Amino acid sequence: MSAQRRTHKLLPEPTPVSRPFWEAARKRVLSLQRCDKCAEYVFYPRGLCSHCGSAELTWTEVSGRGTVYSFTVARRPTMVGFQDEVPYVIAIVELDEGPRMTTNIVGCDPESIRIDMRVEAAFERESDEITLVKFRPVESS
Ligand code: ZN
C-alpha cells in the first residue's frame, strides 16, 4: 500500500459520538452501542437508540461476525483515491447482533461472494487515527 494512495483517500472523521467506535477499531475490536433499556444494538453511532429512543447507550464489544446481506462489485473507482483498488466489493453486512454495516469485503475473489455468506471483521489501518472495519469470508463456514 503506497503512502500516496493513503493521502488521497477520503477517510472518516471521528465525531464525539463516533469516537469510541474508531478507538476500538484501532485496537482491532468491533464495538457497537447497545441500549441499556431495550438491549438492542445500534449502528451507526448516534445519541439515541434507534429502537426505543433511549439515550442510555453503552459501547459493547461484539463478535465481529455476520452475513452478507447485499453487495456489488465496483469495477470503476467510486471515489477519488480508489483507482488502484478496483475491482473491490461494497457490501452491506448484517451483524450477528442485528445491525447492518456498509463495508467492503476483502481477502477473496469478488466473484466468490454470495448473499448470506458468513464473514468476519478484518481491520485495515489507514492512519494513526483511522482503522477501517472491513469483512472477509469466515474460513470453513
Ligand atoms: Zn433502546
Q: What phi and psi, each to the nearest 5 degrees, are found at residue 30?
A: -95, 120
Q: 109 C-alpha to center of ligand 1: Å?
A: 38
pTM as predicted: 0.89
The answer for 25, left when phi > 0, alpha when psi is -120 to 50, beta otherwise, is alpha
Sequence ranges of the domains in the chain: 16-137
Q: What does the pLDDT profile of the chain (141 residues) look like in tens digits?
A: 444 444 577 899 999 999 999 999 999 999 999 999 999 999 999 999 999 999 999 999 999 999 999 999 999 988 888 888 899 999 999 999 999 999 999 999 999 999 999 999 999 999 999 999 999 999 864
Distance (Å, whole) CA 138 – CA 141: 6
Do the Cβ atoms of 67 and 118 come closer than 8 Å? yes
* CA distance to 4, 49, 77, 85, 88, per residue, from 104 (Å): 21, 25, 13, 11, 7
Please answer whether residues 71 and 90 qualify as being in contact, where contact means their C-beta atoms are separated by less than 8 angstroms: yes
For residue 20, the CA-to-ligand 1 centroid distance in Å is: 19
| Residue 97 CA, ligand 1 centroid: distance in Å | 14
- Using the mean position of ligand 1's atoms as its centre, give its distance from the Cα of residue 100 in Å: 16
